[in-house]
Amino acid sequence: MSGMKVGAVIITMGNRPEELRALLDSVAKQDGDRVEVVVVGNGSPVPDVPEGVRTIELPENLGIPGGRNVGIEAFGPAGRDVDILLFLDDDGLLASHDTAELCRKAFEADPKLGIVSFRIADPETGVTQRRHVPRLRAADPMRSSRVTTFLGGANAVRTRVLAEVGGLPDEFFYAHEETDLAWRALDAGWMIDYRSDMVLYHPTTAPSRHAVYHRMVARNRVWLARRNLPAPLVPVYLGVWLLLTLVRRPSRPALRAWFGGFREGWTTPCGPRRPMKWRTVWRLTRLGRPPVI
């Protein structure tokens, strides 16, 4: 059995108490040493939780990355009190008792592995949506592989990565914060795996259910490029995504929101710019996703 310490960060708006309790029960049933859990109420009270689960109630909603960063710091600076942190959606459910132990073994076996992305499956049908497989060749969700990004609400991160490259970008609030962290981790030499055998059950949903989806996706896409890409790739990356958005033919209100966010991405501060090395661009390309799409 691995000696790596595992913690879990769960953020909640307090509106899914039954789902949260089921998730916490699934974490408590994990094999091996106990997984310490912190639940962050993101601008809302935290529902009743089992004894031993720590809670933090924030006076305002800091967004997904901001809330998760608070949870990270609850385990000490950059989460240093544990070796691995699980980030789990509050309406998810760990499908198996061995997920935490599989994480321990994966990180122990590969010293350069920095992040693991779990497979998300619908609890009733077992189906994994294509968008939940973090690679371009997503037809077979049962195939594990190296990848270039990860799923925000179903993953495990080695805390040394957070200590080295920093946490999630608070200012993003919602959308693309995982890719920002992934690119910084890859640029620092860490690797990311998608593991089909580590499963989080989660009801099938559409990301566009969130009212701010189209604006945030567009704004944060621009911020992502401005922060992380070498200058020659910024217009290429954003041009490709502009064309893809138009090809998908969103509704007129959605397109209006998207262009509003796109403009906002250019006219507002995006945080520090640290362009990745060209060898990281090549690594992303070899992994199947060059940073122009």
pLDDT, residue 205, reads 77
pLDDT, residue 208, reads 56
Distance of CA 133 to the CA centre of its chain: 12
pLDDT in tens, 248-279: 999 999 999 999 999 999 999 999 999 999 99
Average pLDDT, the chain: 96
d(CA 149, CA 133) in angstroms, rounded, equals: 10
Is 143 in contact with 78 (CB distance < 8 Å)? no
pLDDT, residue 204, reads 85
What SS3 class is residue 148?
A: coil
Residues listed for the chain: 293
pTM of the model: 0.96
**Range from 211-215, 218-222, 252-256, 274-278 carrying the lowest mean pLDDT:** 211-215
pLDDT, residue 2, reads 61
256 φ/ψ angles, rounded to the nearest 5 degrees: -65, -45
Residue the block writes with tokens 């949870």: 71
pLDDT, residue 67, reads 98
Mean pLDDT of 135-146: 96
pLDDT above 70: residue 25:
yes
pLDDT, residue 210, reads 53
Helix, strand, coil in percent for the chain, rounding step 5 = 40, 20, 40
The residue among 221, 214, 243, 128 whose CA lies nearest residue 177 is 221
CA distances from 280 to 126, 136, 182, 230, 286 (A): 35, 18, 11, 10, 10
pLDDT interval class at 158 (50, 70, 90): very high
What SS3 class is residue 123?
A: coil
pLDDT above 70: residue 164:
yes
pLDDT, residue 212, reads 84
**% of the chain surpassing 70 pLDDT:** 98
Mean pLDDT of 74-90: 98
pLDDT interval class at 238 (50, 70, 90): very high
Range 6-201 classified under CATH 3.90.550.10: yes
pLDDT above 80: residue 207:
no
The domain ranges of the chain are 6-201, 211-287
Mean pLDDT of 34-43: 98
d(CA 15, CA 136) in angstroms, rounded, equals: 34
pLDDT in tens, 117-135: 999 999 999 999 999 999 9
